């Protein structure tokens, strides 16, 4: 077992103008499950391949334990990698697939068999050891690929989208299996996915990348509760956080017909930058509905109700919860919003809601730089 450090590790591909991974700095603890997540092309696979030794590091360093592995060949790094297309050898049995790396390394036959049987037991593959891959389900093949990595007893597991060939249901059950297996084996793991739900449910910590730059590395809880900038705020969470640009007023921000108090220091920080607006983030579950009118002819009260008027376009009923997808007018512009509502009291399509963000549950970001201003 071992720690892993990326120390300002940078990769510039030949002919590339800007780095695919730019001064990546992460310290991964011994036994930790770290997930790298971000949109396509943000540099996740490149980061993992640098750690594996499959990609040159142009500046900075990579360490496994106290070894500087920056310029070591892959075979000397004591890692095992599971890829998206796990490429099992079709003509070999499951047992031979799992033991192949050990055979190449000259490990005695009896020892290979023992290790393969142990791994098969952990992965629930014992009864399939004599089969060829084509006679297995997608999930079973995926477990064979895991088995191939486990028998090598590496210091570090690297996984690059290992679940993306599985259907949605199998992906959910397999992600739980991988996470619990990793915890049981206690092997430091770096796992790449573009799926933020996978990242949040599997990782001890999650690292969000964008355009080769690390945006935030944090526990799933902190990432959700305190996103460091607008990008992370919009990327983590489903449905996504509502992000609304609003004018700064005395003591808060103007949110429709209400002034919502927000952190004073945040507003001062924005004003100091010369900004007259901030971008307020509100998760769908953090709106309070202050008034709800039915669709069609329902009368509106004479006084303009508090909060922001949202016209309901679509209602998604999920049983316990419902999500309202609506439109509001903010600062003269139409803005799409998502509001979570009680699944037993969903408004009708065409109805109008008035919503206010729950005090203390707002996130404030600088409109100009995107950085988080509230604490
Ligand atoms: N061999 C290569 N030569 C040149 N550029 C490359 C090479 N491999 C990747 N890139 C570029 O580097 C950037 C990062 O690619 P990378 O494969 O790390 O992204 P990723 O986050 O894994 O994306 P995805 O989710 O699509 O797998 C992209 O802009 C990509 O086009
Ligand atoms: Mg990739």
Residue 11 Cα: closest atom of ligand 1: 12
Q: 14 CA to middle of ligand 1, Å?
A: 12
Mean pLDDT for the stretch of residues 184-200:
95
The per-residue pLDDT for 297 is 38
Q: What is the pLDDT of residues 9-53, one digit of tens each?
A: 999 999 988 999 999 999 999 999 999 999 999 999 999 999 999
Ligand 1 proximity of 44 Cβ (cutoff 6 Å): yes
Query: What's the whole-number average pLDDT of the chain?
Result: 91
CA 84 and chain centroid, separation: 17
Structure tokens, 256:
């429709």
Confidence check: pLDDT of 301 > 70? no
Residue that has been written with the tokens 């008034």 in this structure = 291
Q: 68 CA to middle of ligand 2, Å?
A: 25
CA dihedral 169, 185, 82, 15 (to 10 degrees): 120
CA-based nearest residue to 283, from 355, 350, 202: 355
Residue 192 Cα: closest atom of ligand 1: 22
Residue 305 pLDDT level (bands cut at 50, 70, 90): confident
The per-residue pLDDT for 36 is 98
Q: Return the exposure string of 89-121: e unless at least 16 CB atoms fall within 10 Å of the residue's CB, then b.
A: eeeebbbbbbbbbbeeeeeeeeebeebbbebbe
Report the alpha-carbon distance of residue 27 to residue 88 in Å, rounded: 32
The per-residue pLDDT for 133 is 94
Could you give the angle at the alpha carbon of 206 between the alpha carbons of 202 and 212, nearest 5°?
A: 130
Lowest mean pLDDT among 69-83, 167-181, 182-196, 358-372: 167-181
pTM: 0.91
Ligand 1 proximity of 83 Cβ (cutoff 6 Å): no
Angle separating helix axes 138-150 and 94-104, nearest 10 degrees: 20
Order of strands, sheet of 242-249, starting from the edge strand that comes earlier in the sequence: 258-260, 252-255, 242-249, 277-282, 363-366
Q: Which of 15, 18, 46, 191 to mutate to test the pocket of ligand 1 (most atoms within 8 A of CB)?
A: 46
Q: For every residue of 229-292, which 3-state class applies, written as one string?
A: EHHHHHHCCCCCCEEEEEEEECCEEEECCEEECCCHHHHHHHHHCCCCEEEEEECHHHEEEEEE
The per-residue pLDDT for 1 is 67
Mean pLDDT for the stretch of residues 2-9:
97
Q: Of 307 and 355, which is predicted with more confidence?
A: 355
Mean pLDDT for the stretch of residues 63-68:
96
The per-residue pLDDT for 12 is 98
CA distances from 83 to 87, 152, 210, 362 (A): 8, 16, 21, 39
For residue 70, with 0-12 CB atoms within 10 Å meaning exposed, 13-18 middle and 19 or more buried, which class applies?
middle
- Say if residue 334 is preceded by a cis peptide, omega within 30 of 0: no
Residue 48 Cα: closest atom of ligand 1: 18
Measuring from atom 4 of ligand 1, which residue has the nearest CA? 13
Q: Which of 17, 43, 58 to mutate to test the pocket of ligand 1 (most atoms within 8 A of CB)?
A: 43
Confidence check: pLDDT of 304 > 70? no
Report the alpha-carbon distance of residue 296 to residue 8 in Å, rounded: 59
Confidence check: pLDDT of 132 > 70? yes
Ligand 1 proximity of 338 Cβ (cutoff 6 Å): no
Report the alpha-carbon distance of residue 45 to residue 43 in Å, rounded: 6
CA 29 and chain centroid, separation: 19
Confidence check: pLDDT of 137 > 60? yes
β-pairing, 205-210 vs 33-37, is parallel
How far does the chain reach from its first CA to its final CA, in angstroms?
Answer: 36
Mean pLDDT for the stretch of residues 281-299:
76
Tell me if 337 sits within 8 A of 242, measured CB to CB.
Answer: yes
Report the alpha-carbon distance of residue 358 to residue 375 in Å, rounded: 16
For residue 358, with 0-12 CB atoms within 10 Å meaning exposed, 13-18 middle and 19 or more buried, which class applies?
middle
Q: What is the pLDDT of residues 205-225, one digit of tens each?
A: 999 999 999 999 999 999 999
Q: 161 CA to middle of ligand 2, Å?
A: 7
Mean pLDDT for the stretch of residues 89-112:
95
CA-based nearest residue to 11, from 197, 209, 171: 209
Confidence check: pLDDT of 148 > 60? yes
Measuring from atom 22 of ligand 1, which residue has the nearest CA? 45
The per-residue pLDDT for 182 is 93
């Amino acid at each position: 077992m071992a720690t892993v450090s990326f120390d300002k590790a940078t990769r510039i591909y030949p002919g590339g103008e800007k780095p695919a991974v730019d001064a990546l700095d992460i310290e991964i603890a011994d036994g930790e499950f770290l997930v790298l997540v971000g949109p396509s092309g943000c540099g996740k696979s490149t980061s993992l391949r640098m750690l594996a030794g499959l990609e040159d590091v142009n500046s900075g360093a990579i360490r496994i334990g106290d070894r500087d592995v920056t310029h070591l060949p892959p075979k000397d790094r004591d890692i095992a990698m599971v890829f998206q297309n796990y490429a099992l050898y079709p003509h070999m049995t499951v047992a031979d697939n799992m033991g192949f790396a050990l055979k190449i390394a000259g490990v005695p036959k009896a020892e290979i068999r023992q290790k393969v049987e142990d791994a098969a037991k952990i992965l629930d593959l014992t009864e399939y050891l004599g089969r060829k891959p084509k006679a297995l389900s997608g999930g079973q093949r995926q477990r064979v690929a895991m088995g191939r990595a486990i028998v090598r007893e590496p210091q570090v597991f690297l996984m690059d989208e290992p679940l993306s060939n599985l259907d949605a249901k199998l992906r959910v059950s397999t992600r739980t299996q991988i996470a619990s297996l990793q915890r049981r084996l206690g092997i430091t793991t770096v796992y790449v996915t573009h799926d933020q739900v996978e990242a949040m449910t599997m990782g001890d910590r999650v690292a969000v990348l964008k355009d080769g730059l690390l945006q935030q590395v944090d526990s799933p809880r902190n990432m959700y509760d305190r996103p460091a900038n607008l990008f992370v705020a919009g990327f983590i969470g489903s449905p996504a956080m509502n992000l609304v640009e609003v004018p700064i007023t005395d003591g808060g921000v103007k949110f429709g017909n209400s002034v919502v108090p927000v952190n004073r220091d945040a507003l001062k920080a924005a004003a100091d930058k010369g900004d007259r607006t901030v971008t307020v983030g509100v998760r769908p579950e953090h709106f309070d509905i202050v008034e709800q009118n039915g669709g069609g002819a329902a009368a509106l009260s004479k006084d303009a109700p508090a909060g922001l008027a949202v016209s309901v376009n679509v209602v998604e009923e999920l049983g316990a919860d419902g999500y309202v997808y609506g439109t509001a007018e903010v600062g003269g512009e139409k803005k799409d919003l998502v509001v979570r509502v009680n699944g037993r009291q969903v408004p009708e399509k065409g109805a109008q809601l008035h919503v206010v963000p729950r005090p203390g549950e707002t996130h404030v970001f600088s409109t100009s730089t995107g950085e988080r201003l509230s604490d």
